[in-house]
Amino acid sequence: TVGDIGTERPELVGQSGVAHTALRPSGVAVIGGQRVDVVTEGALIERGANVKVIVVEGARVVVRQV
């Protein structure tokens, strides 16, 4: 598609990973062996915590601690 920069990642929904940095509320998680820029629903998540992708809104990947 013209103008598509490949930022949408719908395949991540439902996948689990680990917070690579503290998420306050944004940061980096490792999901499926890849570093992904993520944001939480608002809560602070400590580095090393298990997270799950709950929704992808465009380029925004939202995670929740599990």
CA distance 30 to 10: 16
* Assigned token pair, 41: 């629903």
Predicted TM-score of the model (pTM): 0.87
* Assigned token pair, 46: 């400590």
Q: Which helix (H) or strand (E) holds 60?
A: strand 60-65
* Assigned token pair, 28: 């980096």
Predicted pLDDT of residue 8: 80
CA distance 36 to 65: 15
My answer on whether omega of the bond before 25 falls inside 30° of 0, hence cis, is yes
Predicted pLDDT of residue 1: 47
Predicted pLDDT of residue 25: 95
Instruction: Give the pLDDT means over successive 10-residue stretches in the chain (66 positions).
Output: 65 97 97 96 96 94 97
